[in-house]
Amino acid sequence: MEQTETHSVFLGYILWLFGFTGAHRFYYGRPISGTIYFLTLGLIFVGWIVDIFLIPSMERTAALRFRKGRVDYSLAWIFLTFGGIFGIHRMYMGKWFTGILYLFTGGLFLVGYIYDLWTLNDQITLINAQDLDYDE
């Protein structure tokens, strides 16, 4: 299987700075460990420190798992991380209705925001795959 760059190591390290919240793990498509990090402050900061060395392998795994295309993973994750409750990431992906809904409801009262933390990579992969199917 061909490896294409879908996620950035640089952004992974930027999100790692907030790693005790699990941000970098969500970014690389690891929602279970991201949630565990969120609930335990990065496994009481020990796992957070260990992840300094694991980020390059997480990036390689993400590159094999997710599909590159029109929607950029890194940009969508920046929008989700810093403006998710306003729906900016959804508008960027072309999901205007839910983006505006998030804008007026605080990310559907944070439930939608948490859902997107778990599923954003898969949502982007589906959009990119659909775009590729239209091109063929």
Confidence of residue 41 (pLDDT cuts 50, 70, 90): confident
Same domain, 70 and 135: yes
Residue that terminates a domain, selected from 26, 43, 65: 65
- For residue range 48-87, list pLDDT tens digits in order: 899 999 999 999 999 999 999 999 999 999 999 999 999 9
**Residue 80 within any structural domain of the chain:** yes
Confidence of residue 5 (pLDDT cuts 50, 70, 90): confident
pLDDT confidence of residue 136: 57
* Contact (CB, 8 A) for 68 and 4: yes
Same domain, 134 and 124: yes
Same domain, 136 and 72: yes
- For residue range 94-103, list pLDDT tens digits in order: 999 999 999 9
* Structural domain boundaries enclosing 23: 7-65
- For residue range 27-40, list pLDDT tens digits in order: 999 999 999 999 99
Same domain, 117 and 136: yes
User: The whole model's pTM is what?
Assistant: 0.87
**Residue 2 within any structural domain of the chain:** no
Of residues 129 and 134, more confidently modeled: 129
User: pLDDT > 70: what percent of the chain?
Assistant: 94
Instruction: Please work out, in degrees rounded to the nearest 5, the angle formed at the alpha carbon of residue 112 by the alpha carbons of 92 and 109.
Output: 115
For the segment 121-136, the average pLDDT, to the nearest whole number, is 83
**Residue 21 within any structural domain of the chain:** yes
* Contact (CB, 8 A) for 18 and 52: no
Same domain, 78 and 126: yes
Residue that terminates a domain, selected from 15, 31, 65: 65
Q: What is the count of structural domains for the chain? A: 2
At residue 134, what is the residue type? Answer: Y
Give the chain's length: 136
